[in-house]
Amino acid sequence: MEKVGLRKKFIGDKAFYKRVLAVSVPIMIQSGISSFVSLLDNIMVGRVGTEQMSGVAIVNQIIFVFYLCIFGGLAGAGIFTAQYFGSEDEEGIKKTFRYKLWMGVILVGIAVLVFVFFGDNLISLYLNGSQDSGDLAAALEYGSGYLKIMLIGLPAFAVVQIYANTLRECGETVVPMRAGVIALLVNLVFNYILIFGKFGFPALGVDGAAIATVLSRFVELAVVVTWAHRHTNDRCSYLKGVYKTVRVPLSLVKRIFIKGSPLLVNEALWSAGMAMLAQSYSLRGLNVVAAYNISNTIYGVFSVIFFAMGDAIAIIIGQHLGAKRFEQARDEDNKIIAFAVFIAVISGVFIFISSFFFPLIYNTTPESKHIAAQFLMVEAFVAPMIALMHTTYFTLRSGGKTIVTFLFDSVFMWVVSVPLAFVLSRFTNLYVIWVFVIVEMANLIKCVIGIVLVRKGVWMNNIVE
């Protein structure tokens, strides 16, 4: 009887998985292709040299902070959007969309100012204490040039996320996927042409990679915005007349800000924490910078499958909560979390297998390849734990428990993970992989906390009534 009870609690029927996959597969495909193209992009830059790849990797780590600030800044309004959609309130969706526009303008403005005036200083944080023969000055030069071009694409990225997130929160996941696929193909083709100088174009190397990425951002923007405004009479009726005003009622701004600001601060601090972890590992040398970049890129290809389950929770569970289907929300949330962990176990097997041959593709030092393989083996082992953390985080967020998610995510990062990496990298001679293992295994604490909070049901709230 107990086995039957557990099976009923954590395993759904065919109809359930069909609904989950209908939401998550388009996101998986978009993210998967994005990660795969990033892998090919990474390999192309890596074929040029270790310093070029390291410079690009460092800039991407810094810009990653901006990306997550955008995700966090929009996420608070996104909780309201999903619940407004569940309660069939189109006017509410319009207001949350306008709030997202204002948030995008503010965050892009701050990011451009920071990167213009402090970009080189931020890159230099990763180029100190090298224990190998890497050319740090060259890596800084390549990274600086790459960053200047990438700044042009930041506004396009923000607007794409505003539209794509709104479409997903309202049940339309295929269109953002199509736009992402088109953009990524553009990125891949122009990477090849501009990095290596094909078809009569000059070989621009790192600058070519940046130009291709920026171009793809604007292509994606054109596809998403054009489709959305061509369907305001049917599937996107909530966007009809959305630009008649940019005003958002102050009462709603306060409500979104109260729920959303912890998410923005959380994403900013969490991504900054991830950047600090990378910076701590980088103290072991430029080979480690290259290796960490290789492993994260390959890991990203496989992890998109279970990470998409977090988006499924945000959409499906958020809509249940908006419609006050609380017991259904609890039941399906348990099943999605279990499904994500199961998928992560399978993904971990493939990540482990990939560690034996993927790093060999790169034109970098044997030491970088060896360290990259070891990073991947550890990431394969911890993948189920990461999936559990990710889905419990999105569960808490779907019900508006943003203060709790802030404590769960960023506070833990800066109280436990960052200090661990800081101390171990600077005050011990531990091999970088052992530092990485210790930092990752500390996340077991988060898993326990996440399970307890989800089981208590503190997240089961309707916040739009």
Confidence (pLDDT) at 223 = 96
Predicted TM-score (pTM) of this structure:
0.74
Q: What are phi and psi of 460, to 5 degrees?
A: -80, 80
Are 176 and 164 spatial neighbours (Cβ–Cβ below 8 Å)? yes
Coil, helix or strand at residue 323: coil
Coil, helix or strand at residue 33: helix
CA distance 111 to 107: 6
Confidence (pLDDT) at 1 = 42
Number of Cβ within 10 Å of residue 257's Cβ equals: 15
Which residue carries 């991947």 as its tokens? Answer: 376
Confidence (pLDDT) at 129 = 53
Tell me which H or E stretch contains 228: helix 206-230
Confidence (pLDDT) at 6 = 66
Confidence (pLDDT) at 35 = 67
Q: Which of these, 349, 279, 296, lies nearest to 127 by C-alpha position? A: 279
Domain ranges of the chain: 2-456
**pLDDT 10s per residue in the chain (465 long)?**
455 466 777 777 788 888 888 888 877 776 776 666 666 777 777 777 778 888 888 888 888 888 888 988 898 888 889 888 888 888 889 999 999 999 999 999 999 999 999 999 999 888 865 555 557 788 889 999 999 999 999 999 999 999 999 998 888 888 988 898 898 889 889 989 999 899 889 989 889 999 999 999 999 999 999 999 999 888 888 898 889 988 988 988 998 888 778 878 888 888 889 889 988 998 888 888 889 988 988 888 888 888 888 888 888 888 888 778 888 888 888 899 999 999 999 999 999 999 998 888 887 788 989 999 999 999 999 999 999 998 998 888 887 777 888 888 888 999 999 999 999 999 999 999 999 999 999 999 989 988 998 888 888 877 766
Q: How many CA atoms lie within 13 A of 375 on its CB side?
A: 25
Q: CA dihedral in degrees (330, 333, 337, 343; nearest 10)?
A: 140
Complete DSSP assignment for 71-129: HHHHHHHHHHHHHHHHTT-HHHHHHHHHHHHHHHHHHHHHHHHHHHHHHHHHHHTTSSS
